[in-house]
């Protein structure tokens, strides 16, 4: 069974789950990381998301993309975790630096144009990416979440609105304000 047929499926097999994890695992992990600011919790909660996906595939109706459905599960999992006794007991960790993993397309684009990155260019580029994500991590939750869903998960305004249960106008406004805050912070670094 292909992934396109999952909206009508009551169950899935392990191979389908592996394929879903391969396709969306990084996006789910990063989204959870941006919500929690902790890589260990992102690891644990991302695993929980895929366990829920496996057992709840019968609830997926295909009204949104599979990715948006998984991100909704991830969001709800994080919020449930935050409400739990474990979270409230003070075990929530601080923000850790994010090593840029990206999609790997940056090197490919440079190779296509015949340009190779020097070690210095690589270091400065990675440092700049770290600075930007550090700025994003310091944004208030409501701005950080929509910006991550836009930039990292590449969801449309409509999908973000459905996922966050906000109006599309509110999503657009928050995106605009979040981008402006990031741009102002970047100008402050330079």
**Residue 11 falls inside a structural domain:** yes
Q: Which helix (H) or strand (E) holds 106?
A: helix 105-112
**Residue 135 falls inside a structural domain:** no
Place of tokens 């391969």: 22
Q: How far apart are CA 147 and CA 140, in angstroms?
A: 11
What is the number of domains present in the chain?
A: 1
**Average pLDDT of 39-67?**
89
**Residue 173 falls inside a structural domain:** no
Q: How far apart are CA 100 and CA 106, in angstroms?
A: 11
Place of tokens 């701005």: 143
Instruction: Using pLDDT thresholds of 50, 70 and 90, give the confidence band for residue 29.
Output: very high
**Residue 143 falls inside a structural domain:** no
pTM: 0.60
Q: Are 136 and 147 in contact (CB under 8 A)?
A: yes
**Residue 107 falls inside a structural domain:** no
Q: How far apart are CA 12 and CA 27, in angstroms?
A: 21
- Of the two residues 37 and 49, the one the predictor is more confident about is 49
Residue from 180, 179, 186 nearest 148 by CA: 179
**Residue 170 falls inside a structural domain:** no
- 22 lies in which domain range? 1-94
Q: How far apart are CA 108 and CA 130, in angstroms?
A: 20
**Residue 118 falls inside a structural domain:** no
**Residue 86 falls inside a structural domain:** yes
Q: How far apart are CA 38 and CA 154, in angstroms?
A: 22
- Structural tokens at position 5: 């047929």
Mean pLDDT is lowest, of 46-60, 110-124, 145-159, for 110-124
For position 79, which CATH number holds?
Answer: 1.10.1740.10
pLDDT above 50 (res 1): no
**Average pLDDT of 11-33?**
91
**Average pLDDT of 67-83?**
89
């Amino acid at each position: 069974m292909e992934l396109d047929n999952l909206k009508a499926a009551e169950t899935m097999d392990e191979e389908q789950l592996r394929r879903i994890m391969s396709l969306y695992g990084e996006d789910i992990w990063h989204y959870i990381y941006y919500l929690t600011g902790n890589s260990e919790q992102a690891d644990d909660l991302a695993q929980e998301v895929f366990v829920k996906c496996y057992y709840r595939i019968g609830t997926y109706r295909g009204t949104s993309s599979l990715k948006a459905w998984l991100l909704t599960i991830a969001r709800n999992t994080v919020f449930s975790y935050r409400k739990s006794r474990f979270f409230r007991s003070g075990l929530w960790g601080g923000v850790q630096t994010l090593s840029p993993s990206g999609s790997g397309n940056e090197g490919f684009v440079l190779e296509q144009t015949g340009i190779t990155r020097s070690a210095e260019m690589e270091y400065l580029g990675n440092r700049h990416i770290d600075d930007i994500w550090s700025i994003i991590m310091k944004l208030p939750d409501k701005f950080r979440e929509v910006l991550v869903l836009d930039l990292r998960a590449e969801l449309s305004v409509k999908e973000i609105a459905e996922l966050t249960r906000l109006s599309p106008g509110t999503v657009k406004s928050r995106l605009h304000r979040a981008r402006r805050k990031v741009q102002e912070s970047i100008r402050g670094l330079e």
